[in-house]
Structure 1
């Protein structure tokens, strides 16, 4: 291979062979709240405008390539990655690189972003790299790394799914140069909804500070919301604003025992005493109704339900049987009192019969 030919790069989804020099560790850094991966935008003046955070091992890394990737991500893009959850994807085998004596390996990892720092200059060169947050499906096109890049992105997406990150339904692409980002927020009350664009540090912060809302990651909803020109509110905006009453509700809940106790646990199950909402339903029977069993997903939406009566068989309804399905706010302290285990719910589901359908 002549010195004028570019190095040959091949992707290997396997451990690095003994004796092969490691010259680089890069990370596919994924935002756990919105499912996007961070790509450095180094500007049009750079020959290769887009890249991932990463770089050469340094003595301070102690020979640990994950520490190399974490250090470089902080220096170049001002992010912290969760090294305890980093997933090794493989390495690029580089041959014919005249800067090195023989072939060498460039390692790749995927890891969740644990926090953001204010954007600033890389201490190595003083350059500021913008943070371009994109879906893992679009990342190969932007990086233009060819087949090796596409293979890495596919593995990074699978790693994200395995880690429980929202990589299959990411937020729309966009720069995140500040600590805060823009999120589409909905107060869904079943027969209608209120929408806002909320600027916050994370989707989790929105859910922790505003009661009775959900954060939407649907690209279709985002396009629709932009077309309708919904109000934009900073989460730290002074009162009063349209979110003030819901923030006050959340502030009061935060002081109560059980606040947020069932959040972050995946699908959860409850057995509740019938409440005022159910008393308005057409199937309500004051003398016979007793309990309502619920299966609720991590997003707060009801999957299955069981109507349990004092007399007669219980009735069950599946995910597609609800006329309206507004989300439940799982941060509310009361949920901790109603929680049951999955086995109890499944036993009740098997014992119940389908909910009767009125054909008239």
Structure 2
């Protein structure tokens, strides 16, 4: 089984999270991904704890199914190798600050001259233009500047540092994959590639699907706990007697009626129909009182057969054991270099034709350098010379 993207070859210059998550999706769907990594400036993800058998668990996951070529791009011979590779690749994915690849002689215009069909994707915090284009940033900064953090949190404690990197992954990674696949389709018609500028801040800004539309059309400024879906209504989390949490999303009247009936307070359902802040807050307080009458396990039994959009907040370990996630086959055993296996999250996309089995976890820096250079026609002697000159790691 080769996967739907088996015809694509990707040169991946990215590090850390956004670019590697994007190329992970591509590799899981069958694309051939070759990471170009510096042997002198290591990707910090490689040393991020915790480690499994000396390998960062995050690196092992985010870089599975990819090959690694270690090149010092400050060396002219390394740049020549990249130019040779580009002739046979479809996509370049990079995550440097604007201008870095151009200064190396590996910018879009330079590589397009070698391969006019090349699709070149740049993922940055703020994009290739604007006063912030050269500014450093992380996920929390992009969510702050895009306005997302301004109404994601509690009035008394402020914005929430989210456990999942929404701007990095939901913004940069996923939009990069959507954009580059759209460019592949366009290339099928035109025969030429193009450049894709992906700003994680831009992408985070576009996620204001509801609140942003309301503000632009009606001038309604979203604030913490003043929207139906951000804690301004009963749509929220509730604590059980033993300190665990439950999610309540019973927005529709039928679901609200089932929720309140299950809790023994059917008369509360009518309050859910009113959007008046005072009535919503009174309903939240009443629901909290009812949830605190029960332990987590009692609530699990109570809502097991109630279809009311009410679910427990599970730990990651508990989620892995949930029958729904187990039925969806979201775990794979991925081979290590020594032939043993590491448990990893599987690609969540389900194709009727299936996807290829995972080939290996993220490999050691430069694990495929000799192999890749051999494919380019370099002799063993020449490879040894390049390694001795520290062009190749």
- Looking at secondary structure, tell me which structure has more strand per residue: 1
TM-score by length of 1: 0.26
TM-score by length of 2: 0.24
- Looking at secondary structure, tell me which structure has more helix per residue: 2
Q: Greater relative contact order: 1 or 2 (C-alpha under 8 angstroms, separation 6 or more)?
A: 2
